[in-house]
């Protein structure tokens, strides 16, 4: 099975970045507290474990632009399309609506 790097097939239409992250909500996250820095009132944590959670979105890791997909299957389909509805450069900032 050959894997395709996301950076090879994704360019954010808003900022041009090449990385995607999955956003989950209602996640239980745990990490071991390893040590403390008493003078700074800071803790040092070990590895993070996340369990459960519900899919919320896939988004650009740089600017947070949400990809128009609903799950991992539709993400793969979206990234394989060469005729995407929103290609790099198509993003336009929403017009500011001024109230009179």
CA distances to 45, 70, 72, 76, 87 from 81, rounded to whole Å, are 41, 16, 15, 9, 10
* Closest C-alpha among 21, 14, 33 to residue 75: 21
Q: Identify which has the larger pLDDT, 82 or 98.
A: 82
Q: Identify which has the larger pLDDT, 96 or 100.
A: 96
**Structural tokens at position 75:** 């993400």
CA dihedral 78, 72, 47, 44 (to 10 degrees): 60
pLDDT, one tens digit per residue, over 62-80 is 999 999 999 988 998 888 8
pLDDT, one tens digit per residue, over 6-49 is 888 899 988 999 999 999 999 999 999 999 998 888 999 999 99
pLDDT at 100: 44
pTM for this entry: 0.67
Mean pLDDT computed over 95-99: 51
SS3 at position 89 = coil
pLDDT at 83: 72
Name the DSSP class of 75: H
């Amino acid at each position: 099975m050959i894997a395709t790097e996301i950076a090879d097939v994704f360019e954010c239409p808003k900022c041009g970045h090449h990385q995607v992250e999955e956003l989950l909500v209602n996640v239980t996250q745990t990490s071991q507290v390893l040590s403390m820095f008493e003078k700074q009132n800071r803790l040092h944590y070990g590895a993070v474990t996340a369990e459960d959670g519900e899919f919320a979105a896939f988004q650009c890791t740089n600017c947070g632009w949400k990809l128009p997909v609903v799950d991992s299957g539709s993400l793969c389909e979206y990234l394989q399309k060469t005729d995407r509805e929103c290609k790099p450069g198509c993003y336009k900032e929403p017009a500011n609506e001024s109230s009179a």
